[in-house]
Amino acid sequence: MSAACANQAYFLKQVVAGGIHVEKLISLDDKVGGIFPNLFDIWEGREPQKPTPVLSEQVLDKVMVSMVFETLEDALEGYREAKPQNPDVLLIGISLDEKHLPEFHDWRNHSNDENGEGVVLCLGKRQPASNSGMFAGYDIAGYGLGGKLLTFLGNHLLEDYLSLDPNLSINEFGLFPEQQKAEELASYTNDVLKDLVGAEEDLIWLPWKVTVYEGL
């Protein structure tokens, strides 16, 4: 699930600087897009950067490390609890083109495999995404240990993308509307920006498709 995050104004500075209008930011990076529930924060008693809805133990028991529900049905249960507490809450799903699965598994950190991570376990099932949602766009993100995704906005890469292509645009959700362009920029991040600007060089940057199932 996603809700507006206290840090969004900071991360949107580069969007404003690029002359791009974003109506409702959606990002897979919890620091940018307010993704929750974060089990690590809950387990360690950390206060979230923005107050997020309190979910019941019944729902939290269905959350996989770190912020993933295994099924759409489970996620809908969480959404129904969260929405009355925060009208900005969205229920989003992410998917990865099957051709990227080998490099995803080659690059990710395997030290947590014994405990399992939600994104890894769900991708391992190779289940097609549900057709019931609305396509929102592609986020370019690197997958980190613990199940977190670091995105191009969270790593301030939009300016670098605009330097490569001054006509580049993102949509009203802060995402890339075309898969081909997202693929090209992900490759550029891996091949050039890792060395040029230090874009989290231990990660593989991939284009993740984002679908909104509830909340818009």
pLDDT surpassing 80 at residue 185: yes
**Secondary structure E strands in 17-161:** 63-64, 68-69, 91-96, 134-144, 148-151
Position 128 scores a pLDDT of 76
Is 32 domain-assigned?
yes
pLDDT in tens, 126-165: 777 778 899 999 999 998 866 788 899 888 898 899 999 9
- Between CA 15 and CA 95, with CA 82 as vertex, the angle to 5 degrees is 55
Q: Report pTM.
A: 0.88
Q: For residue 1, is it within any domain?
A: no
Query: Is 196 within a domain?
Result: yes
d(CA 137, CA 175): 5
Name 124's bridge partners.
none
Strand partners, 68: 64
Does residue 71 fall inside a structural domain? yes
Tokens found for residue 209: 């498709």
Given the structure tokens 């109506």, which residue do they identify? Answer: 23
The b/e string for 149-167 (b: 16+ C-beta within 10 A; e otherwise) is bbbbbbbebbebbbeeeee
Look at residue 140 and tell me if it is in a domain: yes
CB atoms within 10 A of CB 174: 28
Tens-place pLDDT, residues 96-105: 999 999 998 8
Count: domains in the chain: 1
Nearest by Cα to 26 from 5, 47, 41: 5
d(CA 6, CA 82): 18
* pLDDT classification of 16: cutoffs 50, 70, 90: low
Whether 80 has a pLDDT exceeding 70, the answer reads: yes
Compute the chain's Rg from CA coordinates: 16
Residue 15 lies in a domain: yes
The token pair that represents 79 in the structure block: 């959404």
In a domain, 2, yes or no: no
* Distance separating alpha carbons of residues 197 and 194, to the nearest angstrom: 6
Q: Which residue has the higher pLDDT, 125 or 13?
A: 125
Q: Residue 194: give the domain boundaries.
A: 8-214
Within a domain: residue 151? yes
Strand ranges in 70-204 using DSSP code E only, listed in sequence order? 91-96, 134-144, 148-151
